[in-house]
Amino acid sequence: MIKIKRIYDSSGDEDGCRVLVDRLWPRGLSKESARVDVWMKEIAPSAILRKWFCHDTEKWEEFTKLYTRELTENKQMLLEIKRLEKEHKTVTLLYASKDTEHNQAQVLYRELKKIEASE
């Protein structure tokens, strides 16, 4: 099972393997308090894409297309998350954005579900 959670929300055993999918470490959090098992910076949007998007919801549709293209080119990282899911049963994708609907974890989740549907 793959879940999505804001990294600032409380953590629990039900999170399984906690995977941070941000390129930058979340502000104000120590590594201990974040309880991150794996930090996958490489699967986050490129620095150029992240800066361009800047959490502007008017750019969401285009951001989704561009980030999906980046993910397609980074298939190994997607497969690594699927491997973690098999190993831990549950993987929680962690993100720092205040916007719970318009963030890279949502796009990543959809791409992982597509892989699951094709298996």
Spatial distance between the Cα atoms of 8 and 83, rounded to a whole number of angstroms: 25
Spatial distance between the Cα atoms of 42 and 75, rounded to a whole number of angstroms: 11
Q: Which two tokens stand for residue 117?
A: 């549907």
What is the per-residue pLDDT across 24-80, written as a single tens digit (0 to 9) for each? 999 999 988 999 999 999 999 999 999 999 989 999 999 999 999 999 998 999 999
Model pTM?
0.93
Q: Could you say which DSSP state residue 14 is in?
A: G
In this prediction, residue 3 carries a pLDDT of 97
pLDDT-based confidence at residue 86 (cuts at 50, 70, 90): very high
Three-state SS for 31?
helix
In this prediction, residue 52 carries a pLDDT of 96
In this prediction, residue 115 carries a pLDDT of 85
- Rounded mean pLDDT, 13-34: 95
